[in-house]
Structures are given as C-alpha cells and as structure tokens.
Structure 1
Amino acid sequence: MAFAKVYPMYVQKAERKGRTKEEVDQIICWLTGYDEAGLRRQIERQNDFQTFFAEAPALHPNSSLIKGVVCGVRVEDVDDPLMQKIRYLDKLIDELAKGKAMGKILRV
C-alpha cells in the first residue's frame, strides 16, 4: 500500500479531533528521521510503506517506547519489523487524535 494514500487519512483523523496536519508531519518526521522536504518527496513519489521506511533516515531511538494496542494488536508484540513500524505510526496518530500532549506522544 502506498504511504501517500494513507497519509491523508492520518491528517483527516487528526483534524477531526482538532489537531493539525503540522502535528501529523511532526510525528512522522520524529519517528522516521525525515525532514519536511523528505516527507514531501515520499508522498510525491507515491512510495509504498516498505520503501517509505527503508528510505527513512533513521527510526527514532525512542520508538521502542511506543507501547499499546492498535486495531486489537499490541504494537510491541508485532514480529514483522515493517508491520511494527507501521503500527508504531498508527499508534502515534491515534494518540494525537485522542488529545495526548505532543511531548508524551514523542516520548520526551
């Protein structure tokens, strides 16, 4: 699945709950190490999730602190590395939509 097809859904989910596209971008950049220009390039290229994460500069070292359940799946128990990264991102966007403070979402 193309990251660019899911990205607008992340933004819509956040905006429905009074959060912003900029916050979504901040979360994605924090997790992946992309800067704004790199994130835009990934979206423009319509890369799939595998390529999106493979080309990511660096997964944040605190990503292992992301815990909890997304769609009935505990993210810390996902065995497939790619699926775990996708679930990490899903969990962070869920936390944003639920009104959690950015500092807590970014594990600082």
Structure 2
Amino acid sequence: MPGRNDEDNKPVAVTTSLFMHPASSPHAKTVFWGMLATRPDRRGEKIALLLGAQAIVHMWEKEGARGFMTGVRQDNASSAALCNRLGISDTDWTYSVCIDPEMLGRKNLTK
C-alpha cells in the first residue's frame, strides 16, 4: 500500500500491510497491518486514520485478507486508539520479532 504525498510531492504518511504466514497456516489470510507514520507537521489531520483504513480495505477487497493484526507498545495510547477506531482490538496473541537496530536505526517513528 503506498503512502500519500502533498502538493510538492513530499511524503506525508505511510503504512504497511503484508501477509506473514505460509498458505498452509491457519492464519494464512491474516495480515500484519500498521507501521503508520505521519510527517510531524501534518499530525492531527487524521491522515493515519484514513490511510490505515484504505490499507485495510485494499487488503480485504483486493488481496483476500480475512484478519488483521498489529503490534502496539503498551505505552502508545494514540496508536492503540487509532487501531481500536479501525476495529483492530487487543487479543491474546503474542509475536516475537527480531530486528537489527543497526540496520533499521534506533529512532522511534510512532508517537
């Protein structure tokens, strides 16, 4: 799912959604969705909410997704609220992900 640009063609916001399980898995149609980021000067305009909703609709209608999951830190209330507005709620699922901080950097992108 692409991001959105402003009139100067500068990125404003991005999101990601992808299938992360093999076709033989009971979760094959579950999509990891999220990693929403909005440029600081454009926050508060509900861009992430709209872009996140577009990503969900696209994955459901065009790619056959039938479930969505994301990862939100417990102290990130604004991201949790956005997810809840889009119908993505807390579950008992636990995922463990290994990320190389040297490759992806150490800066926090969500606020």
User: Which TM class, normalised by the smaller chain length?
Assistant: under 0.3
Q: Which has the higher contact order (CA 8 A, sep 6+)?
A: 1
Q: TM-score, normalised by structure 1?
A: 0.25
Greater helix fraction, Structure 1 or Structure 2: 1
* Structure ID, larger Rg: 2
Q: TM-score, structure 2 length as denominator?
A: 0.25
